[in-house]
Structure 1
Amino acid sequence: MLKNLMPNDHWIAHYNKDFLKSDFSAGLIVAIMLIPQAMAYSMLAGLPPVIGLYASTIPLIIYALLGSSRQLAVGPVAMVSLLVFSGVSTLAEPGSDQFIAYALLLSLMVGAIQLSMGLFRLGFIVNFLSHAVISGFTSAAALIIGFSQLKHLLGIKLEGGKNVFLLLFDAFQKIGIINWITFAIGIGSIIVLIYFKKKFPKFPAPLLVVVGSTLVVYFFNLEERGVSIIREVPGGLPAFSLPAFSVDSITALLPIALTISFVGFMESIAVAKTIASKEKYKVDSNQELTGLGAANIVGSFFSASPVTGGFSRTAVNYQAGAKSGLASIITALLIMLTLLFFTDLFYYLPNAVLAAIIMVAVFGLIDVKEAKHLFRIKQSDGWVLVITFFATLLTSIEAGILIGAGASLLLFIWRSAYPHTAELGYIEEEDIFKNVDRYENAKMFKDTLVFRIDASLYFANLAFLEERLRKEISDKDAVNRVVLDFSGVNAIDAVAIDELEKLIDEYKEAGIEFHLAHVKGPVMDLLKRAGWKEKYGEKIEYLTLHQALQPSRGSFHVS
């Protein structure tokens, strides 16, 4: 069965032994990076740090066996961790046994959704989340994630929940009672992480701040001065267990499970395709869903929180020389060794350092350039980004992406309801027809209106089209013929056919005839089924505008 789930060109079937050194090196580097990240992201999700380490073992192996990307580094990521916290914290107290049980059930649900989508070839569904929506959502979520770590950075309790503005206001009010040692450790870690990220991006800076801060806390007994530390991290590999579930818990978790499934997959497929294009191989979106889904399902049986492919780790994996999924398997094995023998070393690790790792990672996701880019090219897309951004900040993670998707869908409907149309004129020098509003040398006919429609026709845009045609015809007293250029009409529905027929018959009684040119095959098939061939004959069968306009070629006037 496993072989049937694997892509035909899987790396296992064609593994080159010369890749072993590169894969081992990449696996080691990513493991060093992932250990502190996994613990930090688990803390962000409201889970014990060890859950993040569990999520960095079995799921990585399953994805490496079933996924189509050779370099994608799967594991806990900030966005998904925040979504887990956002969805599960409404049902149970973060960190509690019930919270952990819900999180593991969430992994199973996310995996089931993704695996089902992959097996049924439904990867195209995520395309309905536009880039503007994802960019706005990601930027807002990055702010929410980053500021949610203020309590660990400042060493104090903060009120305000997930609302960024209330959180900042409470932090400002409590500025006088912060733990300055904790703050110094956190800020110092941020400075070190940013410095190495800019100057030496391949250096495992997270490991440096983890080791350095742990030694400082241990030798100076800083936990006695109020510095919050990780303390006990259970050792050993995760045991097999079935996530507890009920109909009520599944119903309550379904909205957040769907959100994680889509958002996690989009983050994963975006970076996977980027790397694949550089390496000149193909990533299959449905196979990616299968791999991620299976990873989450199997992971849920071994106490793993939901996972997906991460931007930063994948970039590091690729830059470190990863050639295949073996690099991820090596990463998982090294983390298993850490769980077996080295968890005691994390006892004195400050929570402020994990908060710093999260902040540096997520604030890099805030994309101001993309907002400027969208506003420069098309303002409507820029406003969708802004709406999604503020909706996510002011409401919730789930509601924000739904509002953004809704705004994007409404924009699409509006554009399709008011399509672009153009009156065409003839440019003799080039023997071509062009929009008269864009080409001053395009000549119009005295008795003929040439009108191009640049969209498929359906019930929602026929009223607009009819209004545009009536206006154009009424503005030209001498018109006795209308030629519709259907070169941009890829589809037409029954309602549009009926309404267009009524319009043509109405103008025929007024002495104005309609002709159609450039009608595409699928559209012509529908027109013939509607009886247009018998009713209008050759008037709907002109292959070119030249044919349709042959009787009027000598009667130009300049607009």
Structure 2
Amino acid sequence: MLRADLVAGVALAAIAIPQSMAYAQTAGLPVVSGLYGLLLPLAVYALLGSSRNLMTGPTATTALMVGPALVAISSDPADYPVLAAMMALLVAAAFVLARVFRLGWVADYFSTSVLLGFLTGLALTLLAGQLDEFTGVAVEGDTPLQEYASFLTGFVGQVDQLELLVGGLSLAALMVGARWLPRFPALLAVTVIAIALSWAWDFDGLGVTLVGDIPAGLPALDWPGVGAVQVLQLVPIAIAVALVGFADAILAARSFALDGGRPVDANQELMALAGVNLAAGLSQSFPLGSSGSRTAINVRVGGRTQVVGLVQVAVAAVVLLFLTGVLALLPKATLAAVIIFAALGLIDLQAWRALWRGSRPEFAIAGVLVLGMITIGLLPSLILAVLLSIIDVVRTSAQPRDAVLGWDPVARRFVDVQRRPKARVVPGVVVYRLDDRLFFANSRYFAGRVREAVDGAPHEVRAVVLDAEAVVSLDASGAEGLRKMIEQLRDKGIQFVIARSRRAFDQHLEALGLTDLLPDTSRFPTVRAAVLAMSGVDVEAIPAD
């Protein structure tokens, strides 16, 4: 296992080093800020993280959120490193507060459609931000859409053919490597070849923009000196970075969890991410998160423990101590190609097709989010994403899945009569199932659906049986709606009983005062028992065709 972790650590370092430099460039910071993010922060996660294979460090998501925030606070790029370090400390504080209030459960409520839209919008935003470095075209604009328009306007007359050639060949090599040689360290090879060609052909003299001087040595631990006013300006974006970073980390950790390994603890991850960002802030880096792409590679090359992260720390330290002069020769167009390659990997067309086929409303939500990210910007779109998630939850809960049930003599169980037209409906009884909690948003829908089932029954209805196995909770509005519906049914001479109710639901019935309408004699352990009591028909006696 140790050998596999050592090999995986070296392989991941070869990928993480150029990526981290590229992401620092995306954030408007010196590339060394990205390298610093591979030192102490990775060691802290190795000690505190609950995932054995999650890879942390500089990411495209956090870099993209950090850059615009720094520009909004100061017009002097010299201020950016210290502001970014303070932002990392604020992100750490946000994670600590979330842990104190045990908010790890929030990770279970991120909508798939919102995450898909966010990743696609993030990719389009990353692409827009690299057009200038990749082609030499002067790109202007406050939003990605404006940057695309500016790029198209100036492309013909301003494109630097040599910059485009360097960036284009770098991107092509990365794409060929990913497609045809997935196990080959293409990113390392592209980086080394670009540096070698830059030295051999004097790219600097030819006008190709290089990374330039990188301070050698390890970072000193220091508290960033930022004024109170600027700290307050950084707080909102720090909270947003923490929210998105936590979602990314939990999704990546759970997606790539090793079989038989310990489960990912969401609350422990909050503390681990707090430690990572505290270390980043004190060591002159910027807000860090988890990398889904590097985590996937770690799993693919056989990494089993966080020794992989510690190996990356060692390799990054060697680079900072001895190889900064070599890295200075790396063309910025190659770094732009690294970011563009990563951005293209965020666009999952198959997931978009699946969402279109499976849920048009969710597809629309994802599309709106993408449009928002390229028009109104990242932070407003994050707020929009939260609102869309809430709307989607309310929409789904307001009209939950339900079914009228009939007996299937072949399967020997109650099934949805719409999906199994040959299922037998027991005369005199309507069996109805609700697949959600009963609360204020769906109580009217529930009552209306029961009335529709009664009115549409092919026989005179004497009883309604609610299969309540999936009804996990009941609030006051749901209880009031249930009471009115039961009273209306009784006025028509129809009894209402419950089958397969959970203990929590029964406790809510008692707490909300419904035991007078639904005493113990109105509750049955199985739907079959309820139907037998209401109709005198034992469904087991119904023969199959």
**TM-score under structure 1 length normalisation:** 0.88
Q: 2:223 aligns with which of 242, 255, 262?
A: 242
Partner of 1:164: 145
1:235–1:339 contact (8 Å) kept in structure 2: yes
**Please, which of 351, 370, 377 is the counterpart of residue 358 of structure 2?**
377
The alpha-carbon distance between structure 1 residues 504 and 352, as it changes in their structure 2 partners (threshold 3 A), is same
Aligned residue among 510, 516, 535 for 1:552: 535
| 3-state SS of paired residue (1:90) | helix
Candidates 500, 505, 526, aligned match of 2:482: 500
Which residue number corresponds to residue 283 of structure 1?
Answer: 264
Distance 1:135 1:147 in 2: 19
1:310 alignment partner AA: S
- 1:130 touches 1:405 (CA, 8 Å); kept in 2? no
CA offset digits 1:401-440 (Å, max 9, x no partner)? 3323322321221221122333333445665433333333
SS, match of residue 149 in structure 1:
helix
Query: Is residue 46 from structure 1 mapped to residue 1 from structure 2 by the alignment?
Result: no
Q: Distance in 1 between matches of 2:432 and 2:260?
A: 47
SS in 2 for 1:51: helix
Gaps of 5+ in 1: 1-18
Q: Which residue of 2 aligns with 1:79?
A: 61
1:16 corresponds to:
none
CA distance in 1, matches of 2:520, 2:291: 59
Matches within 5 A, 1:69-468: 69-93=51-75, 96-118=77-99, 120-164=101-145, 166-278=147-259, 280-427=261-408, 432-468=413-449
Instruction: Name the residue aligned to 1:516.
Output: 498
Counterpart residue type for residue 494 of structure 1: A
1:57 partnered with 2:39: yes
Query: Given that residues 490 and 520 in structure 1 are in contact (C-alpha distance below 8 angstroms), is that contact kept between their aligned partners in structure 2?
Result: yes
**Code of the aligned partner of 1:398:** L
1:370-414 CA deviation, whole Å, 9 max, x = no partner?
111222233333333222222222222222233233223212212
Query: How much has 1:137 moved relative to structure 2?
Result: 0.8
Q: Distance in 2 between matches of 1:320 and 1:482?
A: 58
Determine the C-alpha separation between the residues in 1 that align with 2:500 and 2:196: 76
1:26, CA displacement in angstroms? 2.8
Deviation by residue 1:173-224 (Cα, 9 ceiling, x = unmatched): 3322221111111111112222223333343333333333334334433333
Letter of the 1:269 partner, please give it.
I
What is the alpha-carbon distance in structure 1 between the residues aligned to residue 328 and residue 224 of structure 2? 28
Change (3 A) 1:537 1:104: closer
Q: Cα deviation per residue 1:425-465 (whole Å; 9 max; x = unaligned)?
A: 34456654333333333344554433333322112212122
Measure the CA separation in 1 of the matches of 2:83 and 2:198.
34
SS of the residue aligned with 1:124?
helix
Shift of residue 103 of structure 1? 0.8
**Structure 1 residue matching 2:403: 3-state secondary structure:** strand
Call closer, same or farther: CA 1:462–1:279 in 2, change over 3 Å: closer
What whole-Å deviation, never above 9, does each CA across 1:506-526 have from its counterpart, x for those lacking one?
443443333333333222233
Deviates more, 1:27-36 or 1:442-451: 442-451
Residues 519/57 of structure 1: CA separation in 2 closer, same or farther (3 Å cut): closer
Q: Which amino acid aligns with 2:275?
A: A
Q: C-alpha displacement at 1:231, in angstroms?
A: 1.9
Q: Is the CA contact (8 Å cut-off) linking 1:106 and 1:253 kept in structure 2?
A: yes
How many angstroms does 1:335 deviate by? 1.7
Q: 8 Å contact 1:417–1:464 — kept in the other structure? A: yes
Pair 1:482-2:464 in alignment: yes
- Where structure 2 has 5 or more consecutive residues not aligned to the other structure, the ranges are none
In structure 2, what is the Cα distance between the partners aligned to 1:443 and 1:210?
A: 68
| Residues 510 and 241 of structure 1: CA distance in aligned 2, closer, same or farther (over 3 Å) | same
Moved more, 424-433 or 98-107: 424-433
CA distance in 1, matches of 2:176, 2:398: 51
Tell me which amino acid in the other structure corresponds to 2:194: S
Deviation digits for residues 474-515 of structure 1 (CA, Å, limit 9, x no counterpart): 456843443333333221112222332233234434433333
Q: Is the 8 A contact 1:148 1:162 kept in 2?
A: no
User: How far has the Cα of 1:538 moved from its partner?
Assistant: 5.0
Write the deviation string for residues 29-54 of structure 1: whole angstroms up to 9, x where unpaired. Answer: 32232222221111111001111111
Residue matched to 2:523: 541
Separation of aligned partners in 2, 1:305 and 1:371: 32
What's 2:6 paired with? 24
Q: Distance in 1 between matches of 2:163 and 2:113?
A: 38
Structure 2 CA distance, aligned partners of 1:554 and 1:312?
59
Moved more, 119-128 or 361-370: 119-128
SS at match of 1:276: coil
Q: Distance in 2 between matches of 1:321 and 1:434?
A: 45
Query: Does the aligned pair in 1 maintain the 2:219–2:284 contact within 8 Å?
Result: yes
Q: Which secondary structure does the structure 1 equivalent of 2:258 belong to?
A: helix
1:466 maps to a residue whose letter is: A
1:304 to partner: Cα distance: 1.1
Q: Matches of 2:413 and 2:404 in 1, distance apart?
A: 13
CA RMSD of aligned residues (A): 2.8
Partner in structure 2 of residue 6 of structure 1: none
2-side partners of 1:433 and 1:412: how far apart?
Answer: 28
Contact 1:448 1:480 in 2 (8 A): yes
- Alignment check: 8 A CA contact 2:31 2:214 kept: yes
- Please give the alpha-carbon distance, in whole angstroms, between the structure 2 residues aligned to 1:536 and 1:317: 56
Q: Which moved more, 1:485-494 or 1:278-287?
A: 278-287
SS at match of 1:322: coil
Any idea what the Cα deviations from partners look like across 1:293-317, whole Å, max 9, x if unmatched? Answer: 1011022111011222223333343
The residue identity in structure 1 corresponding to 2:372 is: A
Inter-partner Cα distance in structure 1 for 2:47 and 2:518: 61
Structure 2: distance between partners of 1:551 and 1:307? 62
Distance 1:450 1:47, change over 3 A: same
Residues of 1 paired with 2:10 and 2:170: CA distance? Answer: 22
Residues 221-278 of structure 1, C-alpha deviations (whole Å, 9 max, x = no match): 3333432122221122211211234443333223321222222233333333344324
Structure 1: how far apart are the matches of 2:293 and 2:405?
51
Q: CA offset at residue 367 of structure 1?
A: 0.6
Distance across 1 between alignment mates of 2:417 and 2:362: 28
Quote the offset at 1:59 in angstroms.
0.8
For 1:301-350, what per-residue CA distance to the aligned partner results, in whole angstroms no more than 9, with x for missing partners? 11011222223333343444434322322221222222222212233322
SS at match of 2:305: coil
Q: Count the aligned residue pairs.
A: 538
Q: Which moved more, 1:430-439 or 1:251-260?
A: 430-439
**Whole-angstrom CA distance in 2 between matches of 1:507 and 1:199:** 67
The offset of 1:530, in angstroms, is: 4.3
Q: For the residues of structure 2 that align with 1:317 and 1:503, how far apart are their CA atoms?
A: 56
